[in-house]
Structure 1
Amino acid sequence: MNRLARPAARRSAPRRSTTRRSTTRRSAVRTLVAAAAAATLLVGCGGGKDDKAGTGKPTGNAAAPAAAFPVTLTNAWGRTEVEKKPLKVATVSDGDTSIALALGLVPVITPDAEDGGPVPEYKQRALTKLGAGKPKTYDDTDGTDFEAIAAEAPDIILGMNTWSMDTDYAKLAPIAPVVTYTDKKHADTLTWQERLKNAAKALGMTAEADKVIAANDKAIGDAAAAHPEFKGKAYTYAVVHPEQLTFMSYADQDPGVFEQLGLKKTAKATGYNAEKNSVSLENLDELEADVLLMTYPFGDNGLLSASELETNKLFQSLTVVKGKHYAVIPSENTLSSAVAYPDALSFPWIVEKLTPLLAKAVAGT
């Protein structure tokens, strides 16, 4: 999993600024890839009109034959037995909601990841494609609302993207079969493809998951092919957290979308890791690269604002800044959080939005 918006101590951004979006936390191109992104939603969400919002029923030909069940999956807390094709799906994180929507399922209940605010563009696209309104939600300010989930009588509960399963599993399992990771460390380490595939097994939708992955691969492959100038450009990605300026593209950090588009980490990346990733204002030259990407997901709660950094004389002296090979990845439209935690649903939208920003930074415009 790409954890670009989190420093080593697993400090969390505000809710809309991070996203793999655990339910226990509240504080925290277009021309070329749009067709591929739309194709992903079409493949992942299904195109049929026979689905009713909130039923959890798959659209199109998503239904699995009865012979595919029962399904038994092991997890870090026991075994999950799925006796028959699940129709009513509940989710315990926004990332799990993305899995369901990517597979063409509208959950019967989800955590309120938007805190009552607007739905992110990529999610709204999926809901519109499915002919659905905003799914029913529960307030997860104090954690998972087990009573709200139980009241919807789900056939299955998706928990592939939550950090709270160690405490939640015992309360969720009596409600419905819980689909989650096989090792507790997988809360951090699984890729979005692995999370999608594991959930799809329990849903009898492995073929649909493969199609989503293939469509997403095509979206980023097409974008990279359209921008050969990205190939081999060294980049630094830094995030302004409340307590530090964080060098997030350290050597063993997941490659993420940037490197799939052709960029590579700078040589300085070897000097940073998950436990050592703070850059002092006296050492801003550590950010030097062919391309510098910054994000400010904490807004006024960050260590410093964009204007404060950009008027810093040392920052202004950087070759990458003077050459205008510098870009800010916005957080207001949820792009910075989506980049940090890409999932099956957001991935093509990330490519669509990020590619033109990178093109301008590489070109120095």
Structure 2
Amino acid sequence: MSVHTRSRTAAALTATAACLALLTACGGSDDSSADKPAAGASADAGKGSFPVALKNAWGSAEIKKKPLKVATVSDGDTDIALALGIVPVITPDAEDGGKVPEYKQRAIDKLGAGKLKTYDDTDGTAYEAIAAEAPDVILGINTWEMDKDYAKLTPIAPVVTYTDKAQADTMTWQDRLKTAAKALGLEAKAEEVIAASAKGTSDAAAAHPEFKGKTYTYTVVHPEQISFMSYGDQDPGVFEQLGFAKTDKAKNYGPDKNAVSLENLDQLDADVLLVTYPFGDRGVISPKELEANKLFLSLNSVKSKHFAVVPSENTLASAIAYPDALSAPWIVEQLTPILAKAVAGQ
């Protein structure tokens, strides 16, 4: 499985890519078209306004009429399609034989899609497999491989991707969703998805006023280092949307300077400390070793039990790192009770 799939597995949380952690600003439309959706399209998808021309970093995608057959080149793009009510005609095998994440399975079941048709992306994007499905459009908004893929994908179908190469890392999930929605004629549906996610987050925050103003640190144990992920100039993410605030030590860290040595574990202390081990014992320090470390045990947050582990085996850690339209509400659902127990010292 290649990295461009934005896999939900632990391998996706590499030290360099993890600067995306917490990057999140946090029913179909009527269809009066006479065209009937082909396999892979939602029957109640909105008609939209066509033709549509979407500029991108490599050229432009000219979409003459409403796409009915949508292919995706990354796991994140598959989630975008599913969030918009579209079952892709083909997707990369992002699960690599593993279990489909809960939030994704929910969407698949809701759409009655059964098992998604996939291609093996171990060696990268399978252009021939995509071409064989004759898609009307290809979604590539959540991939790091578009520099390599674009020229080979455009002869197959219009490619919907970002307007600047830097957006591979910086684009919010809301903007990725909106870009795809414009190409698919589903802009109203995208706004509905965004609004529902925002409401779910604000409802969770309102239900837990004890979160308000509590400082937090979120750290990820990578193979090379312990990473301070809630650094100063990090975009407000789900923790802050729920009412938490960064510590004063966050200003000492940034996307290119986020390593915390074992001698400086006190830098992690906050009202609430959250740690995840996406690599298990393959991290620079094992969970058992870190949680037995004398300096770690001396932290106020640890001594007072305001410490929690964010699970990685259920894909929550990777979903926090790479939120998208499908996973964002599920992140809040899963994370809120963990935070509530940590605040309560349970």
TM-score (norm: length of structure 2): 0.90
Match of 2:10 among 2, 13, 17: 17
Match of 2:216 among 208, 224, 235: 235
Change (3 A) 1:108 1:20: farther
The corresponding residue for 1:33 is none
Shift of 1:304: 1.4
The CA deviation string for residues 55-85 of structure 1, in whole angstroms up to 9 with x for no partner, is 221233x2315xx111001000001100111
Match of 1:64 among 19, 37, 47: 47
Q: Write the distance in 1 (CA, Å) between the matches of 2:326 and 2:6.
A: 21
Three-state SS of the structure 2 residue aligned to 1:352 is helix
Say whether residues 1:99 and 2:80 are aligned partners: yes
Contact 1:101 1:345 in 2 (8 A): yes
Match of 2:39 among 55, 64, 70: 55
The corresponding residue for 2:323 is 342
The CA deviation string for residues 32-56 of structure 1, in whole angstroms up to 9 with x for no partner, is xxxxxxxxxxx3799xxxxx99922
Superposition pairs of residues 203-352 of structure 1, within 5 angstroms:
203-352=184-333
Which stretches of structure 1, 4 residues or more, deviate above 6 A after TM superposition? none
Q: What letter corresponds to residue 192 of structure 2 in structure 1?
A: K
Superposition pairs of residues 57-206 of structure 1, within 5 angstroms:
57-60=41-44, 62-64=45-47, 68-206=49-187
Q: Write the distance in 2 (CA, Å) between the matches of 1:18 and 1:58.
A: 32
Q: What letter corresponds to residue 17 of structure 1 in structure 2?
A: A
Q: What letter corresponds to residue 334 of structure 2 in structure 1?
A: K
Change (3 A) 1:53 1:262: farther
Q: Give the root-mean-square deviation of aligned CA atoms.
A: 2.2
Unaligned runs of 5+ in 2: 18-26, 31-35
Q: Write the distance in 2 (CA, Å) between the matches of 1:332 and 1:211.
A: 30
Contact 2:42 2:85 in 1 (8 A): yes
Shift of 1:263: 0.4
The CA deviation string for residues 195-223 of structure 1, in whole angstroms up to 9 with x for no partner, is 00000000000000010001101100100
Three-state SS of the structure 1 residue aligned to 2:53 is strand
Change (3 A) 1:327 1:20: closer
Change (3 A) 1:123 1:53: farther
Three-state SS of the structure 2 residue aligned to 1:150 is helix
Change (3 A) 1:45 1:362: farther
Unaligned runs of 5+ in 1: 1-9, 26-42, 47-51
Shift of 1:117: 1.5
Change (3 A) 1:103 1:205: same
Q: Write the distance in 2 (CA, Å) between the matches of 1:328 and 1:267.
A: 22
Report percent identity of matched pairs.
71
TM-score (norm: length of structure 1): 0.86
Three-state SS of the structure 2 residue aligned to 1:118 is coil
Shift of 1:18: 6.0
The corresponding residue for 1:37 is none
